Amino acid sequence: MQRALPIYPITHLRNQAKEALGAAARQPVVITQNGRASAVLLSVSLYNELVEKLEALERYQRLERAEWSAASEPTLKRMWDNDTDAAYNDWRTLYGL
């Protein structure tokens, strides 16, 4: 279960910036404007951690694509064109072929 994030109106951010930054050091803070979520305030360390994870996932995806793109079409067909793996039926698009 995901825990609820603190929510601050933008006026609170304007008037109590130090408190909002303190809260963001512990966890992301949702900033609202006119009653709607408009931004998320988070610490630099959490931001850097998220960017590193995203970059790692993108590297993994590029490597996986390169690996599968090198496989022959009959091999890919044998592996992906079956009822069990119906989610991967569009493997040509998935691997950029």
Confidence (pLDDT) at 13: 87
How confident is the model over 45-72, as pLDDT tens digits?
Answer: 999 999 999 999 999 888 888 777 777 7
Phi, psi of 47 (to 5 degrees): -60, -50
Question: How high is the pLDDT of residue 64?
Answer: 81
Give the single-character DSSP code of 6.
Answer: P
Given a contact cutoff of 8 angstroms between Cβ atoms, the answer to whether 2 and 27 are in contact is: no
By mean pLDDT, which of 10-14, 20-24, 46-50, 62-66 is the weakest?
Answer: 62-66
The pTM of this model reads 0.59
Top pLDDT among 69 and 30 is at 30
